Structures are given as C-alpha cells and as structure tokens.
Chains A and B, each alone.
Chain A
C-alpha cells in the first residue's frame, strides 16, 4: 500500500503549519506507518481515504492527532507546556490544600521515553514546591530509553527542544558536547521497565499520573483497559494528565475532566463506578 501524492502533500502541509517540521520527499513511508493506527481507529480502508475525511472538515482534534503521530519521535521537555502549567498552577496546589500535612507527592510518568517528561515534572515541582519531596516513578517499555533516562545527559539539539533557558542554567551543566542534569533533579526520578498492558507499577498509589501520547497507539478496548489499570493506582482525588489531543471521553466513563488553561486534567468521578 502506498499513499497518493495529494495525501502526502496535505499531511506535509498540515504538519509544517502546526509544528514547523518539514516532511520532505521520501518520507511517504513514514506518513503511512505513523497514520495507520489512526486509520484503524477510524475504521477506514487506508491512509488516502482517512486523509480525505480530514480535507472535508475544518481543523479539529483529528488533525491534531495526525500532527502528533508524525512528530512523536521528537521528545520534548515540557511538552505542550500547558500540562506543566496545570501541574504547578492547579494540580499540586489542590493536592496540598487537601492534605496540608503531606510531606511527599508520588508521580507516575508512564511511557517516559528518554526521560524528558519525568525530569520536566521534577524541575517544575522544584520551582513551586522546592521543600516538598516529589517521588517520580518513570516507566517505559524500552530498555534503551530507560538507560538514556537514567544517564540524564542530552545533546545540544535535544536541549533546545522545549526547555526554558532559565531551567537549563539552573539544572544542567555542560558535559563535553552534551548537557548533564543535576544530581538533585536526577535523584527525584526512578526509572523502571514496564508494559502498560501489565499490572501497574508497585510504587503506587500515585497522586499524579502522566499518561501522555501513548494511548493513541492502542485500540479502543485496550485504551479502556489501560485506563482502568491506571485508575487502580491513582489515589482518591488524584489527577491524570493525558496528551494534548487525548481524552478519556468515549473510552472510559469513570473520569471527569476539568479545563485548565489550554488543556484538561482528569480525575476519577467520585460517584462513578469503581
């Protein structure tokens, strides 16, 4: 199966406009492979047909999913930014208001890739609640990603992606051609291997769970499964954060969502079925 030139140029144009990333000629295979999960989700025959449906409607969440699917290999610090604003501006203050004597918060960064997400969480918390112990469990299915996360060293190109300059100078030091994260921040994150289809990590229950940009890879039934597992290790009153274009709506109805800034945070509906 291969995609039409018209399909490719539509997608390339969309991706360029939303992310500045250039999909040059020759990347048709990438468009095809990255969009196939979405095609399956939409229950359509192929990528051309799927993209045709996008042409007919104004920009919406589905267009964003396409952009996401094609840019997900670009791991970023503080990805999408607004979830981290939600973290420091709403989630953490709400949790602490409920439990003023809390001495620690537990966070799970699921599908943490090379570590930018859990470390971003650590840096964000360091900024707003420096005296609070924040234990971050970072899991991923890939041993290679976990090794990179544990090392806490990033290239110059990686460091440019989404990391505020102020955070760079505060938490990093040059290490040859790379930048190394401080021991203080690294010490807050524990990396371990985990498959989301398996029982959740034993380091729970968690106050906050980041499950960002990974549900997209699963079919609807599996997404519901994963969300149920995640829910089982979320403390009452705890928060779930998903990717910018993701939602629990239509997948699992025991969640309620709250709009914070440009995104949403999710909590278990207290009156819902558990």
Chain B
C-alpha cells in the first residue's frame, strides 16, 4: 500500500509518514496540493492521500476537488488531516469528495482506526 502525505509542514509530514510506515505503508511526500497533483499526474500510484487543508499554492480542499473532478484515480482514498475542526469545514470537505477526516491533534491509533474504517488496514495483521 502506498500513501501520499501532503502538508506544508515538514514536521507534520514526518510524523504522519512515520505513523503510516509503522502500519506498513510506503510513503511519499508533497508540500502542497500542486506538488501532490504533479506526483499523481506523473503516474505514481497511491492508495491513500493524507491531505492537510491550509497550504500555499494549492490548498487541500482544492486538491481534493481537483482529484475528484479528474476521475483519473478512483482507487485513491482521500483523508483530510487538518486543524480545520469546525463542523462546517468537515461538511465542506466531505462534500468536495474527501472520504475521511482527521482533526489535528490526533494519536497514531486514531489514524489507524480511520484506516480500518476505510478498509485500508486489516484490524489485526502482522507486518
């Protein structure tokens, strides 16, 4: 399984990549929505994208909308990982096509539990 971690913070990218790595994912990183889209367009395949909202150049909501509009990557699960925690923002993201939503701060088991919901992680598996 491959995951793309999209966040303008190198710290947060490192944290999320580390968590996903521990769960058996191979990870790549992008610093904004544009970089992430470029990676997708270059033909690299990802099963999961963890998407921050507030980023320069192209923010997370724009990225999600762009991915869903293109319909090129239907197997790509989009999970927001963001500080945007107002209920209205969550609604907006889900409406734009995000599949799941994690509000910062979060614990690694919370991230894992969301991946179980998405069917991207078996409940218990030795890796």
Which residues on A sit within 8 Å (CB–CB) of B23? 17, 20
| Contact indicator A156/B117 (Cβ below 8 Å) | no
A20, A78, A172 interface centre (most CB from chain B within 10 Å): A20
When C-beta atoms are compared, the residue in chain B nearest to A15 turns out to be B109
Distance, CA A160 to CA B106, complexed state (A): 7
Count B interface residues, CB 8 Å: 34
When C-beta atoms are compared, the residue in chain A nearest to B112 turns out to be A20
Which residues on B sit within 8 Å (CB–CB) of A165? 90, 93-94, 98, 100-101
| Contact indicator A18/B85 (Cβ below 8 Å) | no
List residues of B (88-120) whose CB comes within 8 Å of A's CBs. Answer: 90-91, 93-94, 98, 100-103, 105-114, 116-117
List residues of A (1-48) whose CB comes within 8 Å of B's CBs. Answer: 16-22
B19 within 8 A of A: yes
| Contact indicator A17/B87 (Cβ below 8 Å) | no
B123 within 8 A of A: yes
| Contact indicator A81/B90 (Cβ below 8 Å) | no
Q: A166-B94, A174-B86 are in contact. Are A244 and B123 (CB under 8 A)?
A: yes
Instruction: Write the A241-253 contact mask toward B (1 if CB under 8 angstroms, else 0).
Output: 0001100000000
| Contact indicator A64/B109 (Cβ below 8 Å) | no
| Contact indicator A164/B117 (Cβ below 8 Å) | yes
A80 within 8 A of B: yes
Which residues on B sit within 8 Å (CB–CB) of A173? 87
Distance, CA A265 to CA B99, complexed state (A): 29
| Contact indicator A174/B123 (Cβ below 8 Å) | no
Which residues on A sit within 8 Å (CB–CB) of B127? 17
When C-beta atoms are compared, the residue in chain A nearest to B99 turns out to be A165
B57 within 8 A of A: no
When C-beta atoms are compared, the residue in chain A nearest to B100 turns out to be A165
| Contact indicator A81/B126 (Cβ below 8 Å) | no
When C-beta atoms are compared, the residue in chain B nearest to A158 turns out to be B110
Which residues on A sit within 8 Å (CB–CB) of B123? 80-82, 244, 262
Distance, CA A218 to CA B123, complexed state (A): 24
Instruction: Write the A220-254 contact mask toward B (1 if CB under 8 angstroms, else 0).
Output: 00000000000000000000000011000000000
Which residues on B sit within 8 Å (CB–CB) of A82? 123
| Contact indicator A80/B85 (Cβ below 8 Å) | no
Distance, CA A18 to CA B127, complexed state (A): 8
| Contact indicator A17/B116 (Cβ below 8 Å) | no
| Contact indicator A20/B117 (Cβ below 8 Å) | no
List residues of A (96-112) whose CB comes within 8 Å of B's CBs. Answer: none
Shortest Cβ distance from B17 into chain A, in angstroms? 13
| Contact indicator A156/B103 (Cβ below 8 Å) | yes
Q: A20-B112, A165-B90, A169-B94 are in contact. Are A156 and B85 (CB under 8 A)?
A: yes
Which residues on A sit within 8 Å (CB–CB) of B22? 16-17, 20
Which residues on B sit within 8 Å (CB–CB) of A262? 122-123
Shortest Cβ distance from A178 into chain B, in angstroms? 11
Distance, CA A164 to CA B112, complexed state (A): 12
| Contact indicator B108/A21 (Cβ below 8 Å) | yes
| Contact indicator A160/B126 (Cβ below 8 Å) | no
A-B contact list, 14 entries, CB within 8 Å? A64-B124, A80-B116, A81-B117, A156-B85, A157-B106, A159-B103, A162-B110, A162-B113, A162-B114, A168-B87, A168-B90, A172-B87, A174-B87, A244-B124
10 tightest A-B contacts by CB? A160-B110, A59-B126, A20-B108, A165-B101, A162-B113, A20-B112, A161-B110, A160-B106, A64-B124, A21-B109
7 more CB-based (< 8 A) A-B contacts, given A161-B110, A162-B110, A245-B124: A19-B109, A81-B123, A156-B103, A161-B107, A165-B93, A166-B94, A169-B87
